[in-house]
Amino acid sequence: MVDFRLSQNDTEILEQVRREGLAVRKHARYFDEHEEELPPEKFPEADAFPGVSERVNRRPAGDTPPATFQMLLGMARQWGDTLPLRQPPLALGNAALQAAGTPEQKQRWGATALSMAITEPGCGSDSKAIKTTARLDGEHWVINGEKIFVTTGIRAQGVVVWATVDAQRGRAGIKSFVVLKGTPGFEVTRKEKKLGIRASDTAALSFIDCRVPRDHLLGGDETVPRQGSGGFRGVMKTFNMTRPAVGAIGVGKARASLDFAEEALAGEGVAVDWERGRRARSTIEAKLVQMEADAEAASLTVLRAGWLADAGEENNVEASIAKAKGGEVSRTVPQGCIELLGAMGASREHLLEKWLRDGRITDIYEGTGQIQRLIIARAIFGYSSEELG
Which are the catalytic amino acids? 366
**Count of C-beta atoms within a 10 Å radius of residue 54:** 8
Residue 376 interacts with ligand FAD (CB under 6 A): yes or no: no
Pick 178 or 197: Cβ nearer ligand FAD: 197
Beta carbons of 270 and 285 less than 8 angstroms apart: yes
126 by Cβ neighbours in 10 Å (0-12 / 13-18 / 19+) ranks as exposed
Pick 206 or 368: Cβ nearer ligand FAD: 368
Q: Which residue number places its CB atom closest to ligand FAD?
A: 124
Smallest gap from Cβ 156 to ligand FAD, in A, equals 10
Spatial distance between the Cα atoms of 13 and 20, rounded to a whole number of angstroms: 11
Residue 92 interacts with ligand FAD (CB under 6 A): yes or no: yes
Residue 202 interacts with ligand FAD (CB under 6 A): yes or no: yes
Spatial distance between the Cα atoms of 32 and 41, rounded to a whole number of angstroms: 16
Size of interface with ligand FAD, in residues (CB under 6 A): 22
Smallest gap from Cβ 242 to ligand FAD, in A, equals 10
Beta carbons of 110 and 99 less than 8 angstroms apart: no
Query: Could you give the string, one character per residue 221-240, with x where binding to ligand FAD holds by CB under 6 A and - elsewhere?
Result: --------------------
- Please report how the helices 369-381 and 316-341 are oriented relative to each other, as an axis angle in degrees rounded to 10: 140
Query: Could you give the string, one character per residue 295-314, with x where binding to ligand FAD holds by CB under 6 A and - elsewhere?
Result: --------------------
Smallest gap from Cβ 146 to ligand FAD, in A, equals 12
Which residue among 51, 65, 124, 234 contacts ligand FAD (CB under 6 A)? 124
Beta carbons of 261 and 352 less than 8 angstroms apart: yes
Residue 117 interacts with ligand FAD (CB under 6 A): yes or no: yes
Pick 151 or 240: Cβ nearer ligand FAD: 151
**Residues in Cβ contact with 100 at an 8 Å cutoff, skipping those fewer than 6 apart:** 176, 218, 219, 231, 234, 235, 237, 238
**Residues in Cβ contact with 302 at an 8 Å cutoff, skipping those fewer than 6 apart:** 71, 74, 75, 244, 247, 248, 251, 322, 325, 326
Which residue among 149, 239, 307, 355 contacts ligand FAD (CB under 6 A)? 149
Q: Which stretch binds ligand FAD (CB under 6 A): 99-107, 143-151, 272-280, 375-383?
A: 143-151
Q: Which of 197, 155, 203 is nearest to 32 (CA)?
A: 197
Smallest gap from Cβ 91 to ligand FAD, in A, equals 8
362 by Cβ neighbours in 10 Å (0-12 / 13-18 / 19+) ranks as buried
- Cα distances from 57 to residues 60, 80, 241, 306, in angstroms, run 9, 22, 18, 17
Residue 370 interacts with ligand FAD (CB under 6 A): yes or no: yes
Residue 94 interacts with ligand FAD (CB under 6 A): yes or no: no
Query: Could you give the string, one character per residue 154-193, with x where binding to ligand FAD holds by CB under 6 A and - elsewhere?
Result: ----------------------------------------
Pick 44 or 122: Cβ nearer ligand FAD: 122
Residue 38 interacts with ligand FAD (CB under 6 A): yes or no: no
Residue 199 interacts with ligand FAD (CB under 6 A): yes or no: no
Residue 270 interacts with ligand FAD (CB under 6 A): yes or no: no
**Count of C-beta atoms within a 10 Å radius of residue 235:** 24
Smallest gap from Cβ 371 to ligand FAD, in A, equals 6
Residue 364 interacts with ligand FAD (CB under 6 A): yes or no: yes
**DSSP labels, 285-327:** HHHHHHHHHHHHHHHHHHHHHHHHHHTT---HHHHHHHHHHHH
Pairing type for strands 140-151 and 202-213 reads: antiparallel
Smallest gap from Cβ 365 to ligand FAD, in A, equals 4
Give 61's DSSP letter.
B
Residue 248 interacts with ligand FAD (CB under 6 A): yes or no: no
Which residue among 150, 246, 256, 295 contacts ligand FAD (CB under 6 A)? 150
Which residue among 7, 53, 107, 125 contacts ligand FAD (CB under 6 A)? 125
DSSP-assigned beta bridge partners for residue 203: 150, 191
Which residues form the interface with ligand FAD (CB under 6 A)? 92, 115-119, 124-125, 149-151, 194, 197, 202, 361, 364-365, 368, 370-371, 374, 389
